[in-house]
Amino acid sequence: MRTESHTQLIEQSLDTLWRPFTQHALGQKPMVIVEGHGYTVVDSEGNEYLDAMAGLWCVNVGYGQEQLIAAGARQLRTLPYSPATRPAPPSLELALRLAEVLPGDLNHIQFLNSGSEAVETALKVARQYARQQFPGQNRYKIIARYRGYHGWSGGALGATGQTARKAAFEPLAPGYIHVRPPDLFQLFGGMTPQQASDQLLRELEEVIEFEGPETIAAFIGEPIIGGGGVIVPPEDYWPRVRDLLRQHGILLIFDEVITGFGRTGKMFGAEQWNVVPDIMTMAKGISSAYIPLAATAVTDAVFDAFKGAPGENKQFNQVSTYGGHPVACAVGLANLAVIQEQGLVENAARMGERLLGGLRELIAEHPLAGDARGKGLICGVELVKPGTREPLEPGKVNQVMAAAQQRGVLLGKNSSTVPRLETVLTIAPPLIIDQPGIDRLIDALDAALGAVEGRA
């Protein structure tokens, strides 16, 4: 499509397409992306950008991977659809391939279409598991973390700990309890990581005691909080949380919608801490977002709790029309093959180190950059008022993003989460990024910070 026709299309659809997070009263035009190549995208005006967010933390294999395209086209011709109750071969094969790469005995997989649905499924599985495993108890509560994000649908939003995403729709379903996240920069400044995790574990133990373990089904968390501001926990946090939950019969759900499929420099975030959750959710990188696909995996023990005699009604009664879609699963298989064949997990680890190294140098040079953190290719830079840990004014954060965009790099930000704390620039490029790409990203952010600080 030619540029003039894009301009017309954008103007005509301005209020017809109701866009997320957009105040339509302002009449602002969206940036419209028309093409993607590798780790870059092109907008409707012909500008090329390094996509430092891989779309929305999801185009892990980068744009234009022919294997994914061919696999989708082939499956569309062979069989475009079959319901999950009569599963097509790609869903059988993808379940097997995933069971091979998932940590521990996460050997049983359901397919969904979005991260939110994968989380809804995980929450339902946890509640039914608890009822079947602990007859006579009413374990329905879910513990989650402030600043965490788990999706837009009812249950997933209940678990989300971001007031800006929730307030307009509350009250949501009861039964969600939030605890503090391992945010070492804002919440535990001055403490060592060890002291912070001691404190967090004490708090979690108190919450479990006061709520009553026999009322709690599960704890859900992102191994690294992503959209909430890239919050990386202390090394001992997850192993200790895991042990504490186990002592009380509470399931651990890892929401790996962002951290899965190589993002952190391991295939799954869980592997960073050698912690195997009872339930894991996946989406985004599972198909590199070439097509909607998500999954929820459970361990042998969780799966076994759903076995019973006919009539006991212990099976999991849920079907999604598009869950296990043959075309999506065929693309998912090709995506996994590309991640493995092209060594993208290893590349994410290597490039991630260079990215974080570069970001830490920026912290040393720029008074607006207060903290740089991350693992692999999921990084955040928290912007502050110079010389403090106080969050920078929102207008200035937007200026930094705009200045980076002018220099050809699209960054992300933890927008519409917890209003005072929305000053974290987020960086999660496609896992195919190379050294020139990392240099380009760092140079653009360096120049953007300098421009807003009034140095350029």
Contact footprint for ligand PLP (CB under 6 A): 114-116, 119, 149-152, 222, 226-227, 255, 257-258, 283
149 or 261: CB nearest ligand PLP: 149
Distance of closest approach, residue 171 Cβ to ligand PLP, in angstroms = 21
| Sequential DSSP letters for 383-439 | EBSTTSSSBPPHHHHHHHHHHHHHTTEE-EE--SSSGGG--EEEE---TT--HHHHH
122 or 130: CB nearest ligand PLP: 122
Tell me which residue has its CB nearest to ligand PLP.
Answer: 115
Instruction: Kindly report whether the peptide bond that precedes residue 171 is cis, defined as omega within 30 degrees of 0.
Output: yes
Question: By three-state DSSP, how is residue 167 classified?
Answer: helix
Query: Going along 183-261, which residue ranges are E strands?
Result: 216-221, 251-255
Distance of closest approach, residue 56 Cβ to ligand PLP, in angstroms = 6
253 or 438: CB nearest ligand PLP: 253
- Alpha carbon distances (Å) from 255 to 40, 64, 277, 280: 27, 27, 10, 6
Distance of closest approach, residue 295 Cβ to ligand PLP, in angstroms = 12
Distance of closest approach, residue 109 Cβ to ligand PLP, in angstroms = 17
151 or 326: CB nearest ligand PLP: 151
Distance of closest approach, residue 388 Cβ to ligand PLP, in angstroms = 29
Burial of 432 (0-12, 13-18, 19+ CB in 10 A): buried
- Plot region of 269 (φ>0 → left; ψ -120 to 50 → alpha; else → beta): alpha
Distance of closest approach, residue 361 Cβ to ligand PLP, in angstroms = 28
Nearest by Cα to 139 from 211, 68, 84:
211
Q: Is the separation of the CB atoms in 327 and 291 below 8 Å?
A: yes
116 or 272: CB nearest ligand PLP: 116
* C-alpha–C-alpha distance, residues 264 and 343, integer Å: 14
75 or 114: CB nearest ligand PLP: 114
98 or 392: CB nearest ligand PLP: 98
Distance of closest approach, residue 103 Cβ to ligand PLP, in angstroms = 17
DSSP bridge partners of 231: 225
Query: Going along 269-377, which residue ranges are E strands?
Result: 279-282, 294-299, 369-375
